[in-house]
Amino acid sequence: MTTTAITAAAAHTARHGTGLLSLTLIGFAAAALYLLSLYAWPLRPCPRCHGTRVNRGSTGRRFGLCKRCGGTGRTRRLGATTVHRLYWSVLGDRMRERRRENFRESRQHSDHPEL
C-alpha cells in the first residue's frame, strides 16, 4: 500500500467514526429528553376510550365507564412509573442522609453524656 492509500483509508475511517459518534450522542440526547418528558408528563390519553372516559357501547340510555382508565380518560405512559420510582428513591436517600447528619450534629452539641 502506498502512503496515499493509507491516508485515504484513515480519512475514510475518521469520517465514518465521527458519524457513529454523533449518532450515538443524538441517541443519548433523545433518550434523555424522553425521560424528562416522562417525568413532566407521565399521563397520556387512554388508548381504549381515547380520553372520552366512557366505554364504546355507551349510549344516551346506557352509560358505562372505561374499564382500562377507570373513567379518568388518562393512563400512565410507558416508563413513567420507573422514572418516578427512581426519582423518589434518590430523593428519599438524600433526605435520609440529611436526617442522619442532623441527628449526629445534635448529638455532638448536646450536654448529655452518651450512654
Where residue 50 falls among pLDDT bands split at 50, 70, 90?
A: confident
pTM here is: 0.59
**pLDDT, position 51:** 85
**pLDDT, position 66:** 87
**In angstroms, rounded to a whole number, what is the distance separating the alpha carbons of residues 65 and 72?**
9
Burial label for 66, CB within 10 Å (0-12, 13-18, 19+), is buried
Which region among 39-48, 55-64, 101-110 has the lowest average model confidence (pLDDT)?
55-64
- CA distances for 40 relative to 63, 89, 93, angstroms: 33, 17, 22
Average pLDDT taken over every residue of the chain: 82
pLDDT at 5 over 80: no
